[in-house]
Copies of this chain bind each other. A is one copy, B any other.
Amino acid sequence: MVKPEESKHVCNVDQFNIEKGETISTLMKSFAGTGFNAKRLGMACEIYEAMVKDRKCVKIMTLAGAMVPAGMRAVISDFVRSGFVDILVTTGANLTHDLIESIGCHHQQGSDQVSDAELHEHEINRIYDVFMPNNAYESMEDFIRTLKFDKTIPVVEFLDFLGGELERLPAEAVRDSILRTCHEKKVPIYCPAFTDCGLGIQLAMNNRGLKLDLFEDLNRMIGKAWDSEDVGVFIIGGGVPKNYTFQALQFSPNSASYAIQVTTDRPEPGGLSGATLSEAVSWGKVNEKARTITVICDATIAVPLILAYLKDTCTA
């Protein structure tokens, strides 16, 4: 709560100018001195920069929404490759679509102004304005059938194994793979609703030897929270990945020191994806002294802008 007395010392709003050839990082710095969501985005950049520069901070990215279909696969991978993410918690869909690109299938620029009945007839699945031919599932199935298991493992271990298996595929196709980059950088991937995606369903149907131990995932995730004194979370889109990460912090003595949230949801209907980061303080998920900001923006716009800022300010 800012006291009005203090407000006398606050800075003026920066009525900034834009130059020709303006870089993203320069604009994000200008944004930090403005208002509304431009300011929030500028602050998100600053807080993430502090997270990266805080050597003890364990940086958790939580990922929901169809980021890979929308063209954000290399952006997410670059967060991992650049060392901006230490743990990834994600929906299964982003992994499924990452795998689809890895095996050489592609998402297509489509349209939302289209007959879905005709698309269905042509076996093209729509994700808002992105199309994915349904035969991508068949190609994925062919690949999945080449995997051999006969054990019970947590999902986090299976996903690391899968990332390694991608090395068999053409280098160009997997260079920007999220699964493979996480495997290479030893960034664990937690996927709490793993049976809720195409990859999960195909494993259920084709690999009867594989059993998943999701309680073990949970124990390991809580263990991570327990072991990390200094945690920063970067929440993209909310959902189960957000809740699962916050739950691990709730059931450990630690809480996040940094928290950035990019969402288009709002708090009043009470759903977790729109819940404020302040609310998380009451649960012990976020520290009351944490630096936090929520940016109300489509993640496909905000997340690449944050990456570009970090590449300019946090890489050699």
A283 to B66 alpha-carbon distance, docked (Å): 15
Min CB distance, A65 to chain B, in Å? 4
The answer to whether A13 touches B244, judged by C-beta atoms less than 8 angstroms apart, is no
Given A69-B35, A247-B196, A282-B119, are A20 and B125 also a contact pair (CB < 8 Å)?
A: no
A266 surroundings in chain B (CB, below 8 A): 264, 266, 296
The answer to whether A116 touches B240, judged by C-beta atoms less than 8 angstroms apart, is no
Given A4-B122, A74-B15, A300-B38, are A271 and B66 also a contact pair (CB < 8 Å)?
A: yes
The answer to whether B37 touches A3, judged by C-beta atoms less than 8 angstroms apart, is no
A296 to B37 alpha-carbon distance, docked (Å): 13
Nearest residue (CB) in B for A107 is B13
Give which listed residue, B196, B201, B279, contacts A127 with CB less than 8 A. Answer: B279
**A115 close to chain B: CB less than 8 A:** yes
- List residues 21-73 of chain A with CB under 8 A from any CB of chain B: 21-25, 27, 30-31, 33-41, 64-66, 68-73
The answer to whether B2 touches A126, judged by C-beta atoms less than 8 angstroms apart, is no
- The interface-forming segment of A142-150, A163-171, A308-316 is A308-316
The answer to whether A107 touches B283, judged by C-beta atoms less than 8 angstroms apart, is no
Q: Which of the listed residues A10, A33, A217 has the most CB atoms from chain B within 10 Å of its own CB? A: A10
Given A22-B311, A125-B282, A296-B266, are A218 and B201 also a contact pair (CB < 8 Å)?
A: yes
A266 to B264 alpha-carbon distance, docked (Å): 9
Nearest residue (CB) in B for A129 is B35
Min CB distance, A199 to chain B, in Å? 11
Give which listed residue, B68, B120, B237, B296, contacts A283 with CB less than 8 A. Answer: B120
The answer to whether B196 touches A243, judged by C-beta atoms less than 8 angstroms apart, is yes
A93 surroundings in chain B (CB, below 8 A): 243, 272
With A193-B240, A204-B219 known, 8 other A-B pairs at CB within 8 A are A12-B107, A15-B68, A15-B74, A22-B308, A37-B268, A112-B279, A201-B222, A264-B271
